Amino acid sequence: MKRPFYHLAIESSCDETAAAVFQGGALISEKVASQEALHMPWGGVVPEVASRAHQTQIVPVVESALAQAGITSRELGAIAVTQGPGLLGALLIGLTFAKGLAVAHQLPLLGIHHLEAHILANFLHPPFPVLPCLGLVVSGGHTHLLEVRDPLTMRVLGSTQDDAIGEAFDKIAKVMGFPYPGGRHIDAQARQGDPHRFLFPKAKVGGLDFSFSGIKTAFRYFLAKHQQAEETFVRDHLADLCASVQARLVGMVIDKVASAIQATGLTSLAVGGGVACNSHLRTALEQLISQQGGALFIPPASHCTDNAAMIGVAAHYQLLAGRKGDLGLAPEPQMAMGWRAN
Ligand code: KG4
Ligand code: ZN
């Protein structure tokens, strides 16, 4: 049997420059260069800083992935790159580089949807989800609830109307004095805290949509009020604050996933995005999905956060479906996903 050809995948939509080499559906090598330290002093991702960092990282990152795979770019059969959604300048660096390589070697160029790829990261590690199932993307930039019909057909059931859940974690963490990105610090502190100690408001959003900006604002006012009376309030109650706010953020996601199960009859769930690393979210989802008799799929942490392996696996399914690629691809910062329910 003829062995499938190698394809290269590139991700540069936000603050990670990443490349991966595949042979068919098999991940051969990957490299991720995180820009976290560059953005930390600013308390968030600075688009111009991100573009410049992608520009300096893209060549060494791709070279390193190819070297680890033991091949040169001449041995590639296709190139895949994140087309959107993401930061325009950041997307442009990856896309322009990929296009150059595709033209030089006369290879098909496949544009990949970043959020679909977060879900497809679950097809990097067996056991694979059985489709159709529900999909949940919880990242710093997005919160989407999906119906995953097949690897290339995902229907949006609901999404955030304002902040993404990761953004809410990071902004709340910042108010408590944690460095950016603060989501994981809340997670770590929450382990020693009481999730029932403080009660934060729950957003009232219809259908399967989310809203996370209200809780962020409520948290800020809550702290300001208590700090007036007690200057060391955050320090004295740090673990309880983290556990309580995390319980509320996670609870809002759990409620919507439960509603999506009711609405669709689908009981299995594939999760992706950086917030899928959150230990309380994982436990709460496991509980909900097992109660429903479904199966829960969450990639290992390194494939929850932004990476190129997920772009490569998405490309694998496009290639299987006979997609030919397009050298005229343009970045799409607001790239739409599938179609909306209702
Ligand atoms: O998917 P990702 O790497 O980048 C985007 O596409 O946005 O997600 C990054 C987000 C950040 O908001 C970060 O704080 C959050 O994932 N995050 C966490 C945890 N680990 C990463 N949030 C809560 N708990 C965690 N353990
Ligand atoms: Zn992402």
Mutate-to-test residue for ligand 1 from 87, 212, 277, highest number of ligand atoms within 8 A of CB? 277
Give strand pairing partners of 137: 144, 272
Encoded tokens for 225: 């009020």
Q: How far is the CA of 320 from the centre of ligand 1 (A)?
A: 31
Residues 123 and 272 sit within 8 Å (Cβ to Cβ): no
Which residues are near ligand 2, the ion (C-beta closer than 5 Å)?
139, 306
Nearest CA to ligand 1 atom 10: 140
Q: What are phi and psi of 160, to 5 degrees?
A: -75, 145
| Dihedrals phi, psi of 194, to nearest 5 degrees | -100, 115
Q: For the chain, how long is the longest CA-to-CA vector? A: 74
**Contact by Cβ (8 Å): 91, 331:** yes
CA of 207 to the centre of ligand 1 (A): 25
Report CA(228)–ligand 1 centroid distance (Å): 31
Q: Ligand 1: which residues within 6 Å by Cβ? A: 14, 139-141, 166, 169-170, 181, 183-184, 187, 273-275, 277-278, 305-306
CA dist 266 to 132, 147, 257, 281, Å?
A: 8, 9, 10, 19
Helix-, strand-, coil-residue percentages of the chain, each rounded to 5? 45, 20, 35
Query: What confidence score (pLDDT) does residue 338 get?
Result: 64
The residue ranges of the chain whose pLDDT is under 50 are: 339-342
Sign of CA dihedral 62, 43, 235, 283: negative
Residue 227 to residue 266: CA distance in whole angstroms: 45
Burial class of residue 15, CB neighbours in 10 A (0-12, 13-18, 19+) = buried
DSSP string, 204-223: ---TT-B--HHHHHHHHHHH
Can you tell me which atom of ligand 1 is nearest the CA of 173? 14
Q: How many CB atoms lie within 10 A of CB 262?
A: 9
Which position has the token pair 């290879």? 107
CB 159 within 8 A of CB 144: yes
CB neighbours (10 Å) of residue 190? 24
Atom of ligand 1 nearest to the CA of 301: 20
State the Cα–Cα distance between residues 82 and 14, nearest whole angstrom.
10
187 and 275 in contact (C-beta within 8 Å)? no
pTM tops 0.85, yes or no: yes
Q: Give the pLDDT score at 341.
A: 37
User: Does residue 137 contact residue 125 with C-beta atoms inside 8 Å?
Assistant: no
